[in-house]
Structure 1
Amino acid sequence: MANAAAKREIPTAENKDVPGDAKRVKTDRTDGRDEEEEPECENVLCGFQTSSVLSDSAREKLLFVHGKIADQEAVVVLEKTPIREDALPELFARSTLRLEMRNDIYSTYRLQVPPHLNEIKTTVVCPATQKHLKKYQRQESFLVEETEQDYESITLPYIQQQSFSLQWVYNILEKKAEADRIVYEDPDPELGFVLLPDLKWDQKQVDDLYLIAVAHQRGIKSLRDVTSEHLPLLQNILQKGKEAILQRYELPGSGLRVYVHYQPSYYHLHVHFTKLGYEAPGCGVERAHLLSDVVQNLRADPRFYKTRTLSFPLRADDGLLGRFREAGRL
């Protein structure tokens, strides 16, 4: 959402230096081939000093922790990785059980698995700003109904005043960062895009598949900017994105949810591709717009998203929410 736009939804650490003699280990890819993981590196968390838990989700197995690393503010995101089907034989054979309760045909246990099957995906944001702390802190949300006039007088000025950096997006498009993560690219400057895994997906199974298509064309901030002139770009992303996922992950287009966010996390056109059965963060109706619907709406009305009222949620501390309140629109 608006205050999160200065960074991607979960920032990367791809520029961190790693030891030259770091080991490389193999991992199973979702397409059946082996690839090398990132090299093992120094444990930057060994000196992490915890200040507070910003928020947590028992359902999603997520924990957001605020603290310090070498006197720098940091946020650490801890997420339990999904259980992989191909790991079940080893999990059952090599784990130990501790009985908690037995009653007739029902038993509950604590299952302790081998360490390599019990990983916790960890994202480190350091140095973290106040915007990062607010982003990950548990807060109440409010639904805003933004008219065409609201966008021109409230939202757009707010976006322009914030000067959110998109350099990390341009680094991806220019192959200065994350080039090895790109799954597919159409290099056309007007119709092209790069397709790469979202950082929330560990790429070990297709059940929670999540990829992002980032348009090469610049200047399209959000859904509000798209008109019928962008139909070739949107259709190209929809078609070629599905084809690339079918070829790479053997998942047909009928098994995908393809959508754009409004408000987006960052103001450069990007499209989300997730497996249909996966309840990805932000895929709810209050924020996600199916790309196929966007295409149909623009065919019916070239300025559909310029003129219609759009609803979206904002967190309590979001600066944009404050602007809507000041204008008496909430």
Structure 2
Amino acid sequence: MVKKINQQTSSYWEQRRAKEEEWIKENLSNDEAFNRQLQVYYDQAINNIDEMIKANTDLITDKATGKVTEADVRSYETKAKSIVLEAQKRLKAGQKVQYGDYDKQINNHLKIYNATMRINRLEWIKSNIGLEMVQLGLNVDADLRDKLSADYQKEIKRQSGIMGESVGKLSSSSITAQIILAQTKGATFSQRLWVDQDVLKSKLDQVIANGIIQGQSNQRVARNLRDQLKSTVDNQRYVTERLARTESSRVQAQAEILSMKGNGFKYCIWIDEPRACAECKQIANKDNGWGKGVYLVDDVPFLPAHPNCRCVLSAYWVERLSLENLAQ
């Protein structure tokens, strides 16, 4: 396919760039759609925790050290079992991506909360908040895996259409899982997500602890917790949105590079997004002797260049004359 593309005129490359810029806009639009999907999950967590706080205001301080009743245990265990069943259902549903340590993450978190919730009524409340975090993590992790799988597969097919070649093994489930669950800076996207959920849980626990230490009334502690609940969860939702955008960009970039290498392309061009930062603009404008933003595929800077990066890579042909001039 390289021989066919290298004969294209300069107008072809201009059109190719225009189409890539449209593709960037489509990615940004898809990001917003996924953000709305995330907000549903986070808003539900806020509502559930808020209702629990209202129903157990007296337990937060006055009866915080009281014994956990059998009714408390049963209500907790019922919810924990429903989370496990939902996780198992997702695992058996035949998603495009192997879930790997998905169920392990959920079970590890549940074991902790199962142990601590029996200490006293306060720990029971905190463990119930933990259940909401597990439910939230379950939903977000599963949806993000499916999104990344779809983003990778779609980009592989798009590149196939551009280059006129079949997708081959690049679209196999094993390669898809390998790309999606790859580690960056020592962690997978799923591991980062669950760490973020733990951070959120810790922040909510701290609000309760601070109220008790300061001797606040149970109504005031409950009110402060509800007031801080939304802002804390919303801030954490932004972290998840950033993770989703960054990981989507990463798997698409990997699809682009694998497609270029598989079709014999040695050069690519970095196309910056409309809201590109100074770092990405510098990459897109750097001239290595083949034109602005043109790099050897093996030497192109890692994409995404930073969290939230939405630049793209596109196959590029360097004329032999340009190479000869550069050599001189």
Asked if these proteins are the same fold (TM beyond 0.5), I'd say no
TM-score by length of 1: 0.23
TM-score (norm 2): 0.23
| Bigger radius of gyration among the two | 2
Structure holding more helix per residue: 2
Q: Name whichever structure is richer in strand by fraction.
A: 1
